[in-house]
Structure 1
Amino acid sequence: MDRIAALRQIETALTDLESGEADLEECERRVRATVRTFATEFDGELAAYRSETGTVVLADSERAARERVRELTGADAPTVERLDG
């Protein structure tokens, strides 16, 4: 999924919330699903990596992913696993 498609799906979810066709819980579920799909099916040089804490980051290598997780969570030596969409 590319960025434009993800933004369109999020916009549709927000529009449905505003019009009353969806409640907040449904809107949140749809936005979360869109972002997860975008991250795990990222179309570019980056890939999604998940750490043992559950943190998911986009990075161009396992090493870069570990560094991003370290910066975000403060973990000393995080392990990461590449997610293949």
Structure 2
Amino acid sequence: MDRISAIRNVEDALRAFENGDADLADTERRVAAVLRTYATEFDGDDDVFRAVGEEPVDGTVVVAPSEPAARERLLAANGLDPGDGDGPGDADGPAFEIERV
């Protein structure tokens, strides 16, 4: 799915919500499905990575050029300092692994 298709699908979901044809839960599911499809079919030079582990990072998906960059982006996306990861000496942050999607 390209970016324009993803945006159109999100707009369709929002329109259905605004028209009363879908409730909030249905709209959230549709938008999440669009984003998930877009992310897993991402066609850029970077890769798509997902965090698997402790909250709040578990399930977060980012696009990054490498695993170290993905780790920083995953932490930043969750409002955490990149020094809070589960690397050596980082016992205070959430423990998580990174998988390429």
Instruction: Specify whether residues 71 and 27 from structure 1 end up closer, same or farther in structure 2 by C-alpha distance, changes over 3 A only.
Output: closer
- In the alignment, is the contact (CA less than 8 A) between 2:71 and 2:85 conserved in 1? no
Deviation of 1:59 (Å): 0.6
**Same amino acid, percent of matched pairs:** 51
My pick for the range that moved more, 39-48 or 11-20, is 39-48
Work out which of the two has the higher radius of gyration on C-alpha atoms and give 1 or 2: 2
Q: Give the distance between the partners of 1:32 and 1:24, measured in 2 at CA.
A: 12
**Superposition TM-score, scaled by structure 2 size:** 0.71
Q: Is the 8 A contact 1:13 1:30 kept in 2?
A: yes
Determine the structure 1 residue equivalent to 2:47.
Answer: 47
Question: Distance between the aligned counterparts of 1:19 and 1:32, measured in 2?
Answer: 19
Residue 66 of structure 1 corresponds to 71
CA RMSD between the two structures: 1.7
Counterpart amino acid of residue 62 in structure 1: E
Displacement of 1:76 in angstroms is: 3.2
Unaligned runs of 5+ in 1: none
Q: Distance in 2 between matches of 1:24 and 1:4?
A: 23
Would the alpha carbon gap of residues 61 and 18 (structure 1) be closer, same or farther in structure 2, given more than 3 Å must change?
A: same
Q: TM-score, normalised by structure 1?
A: 0.82
Answer yes or no: is the 8 Å Cα contact 1:13–1:31 preserved in 2.
Answer: yes
Unaligned 5+ segments in structure 2 are 88-95
C-alpha distance in structure 1 between counterparts of 2:10 and 2:75, whole Å: 29
Match of 2:61 in 1: 56
- The Cα shift of 1:80 comes to 1.1
Q: Matched residue pairs, number?
A: 83
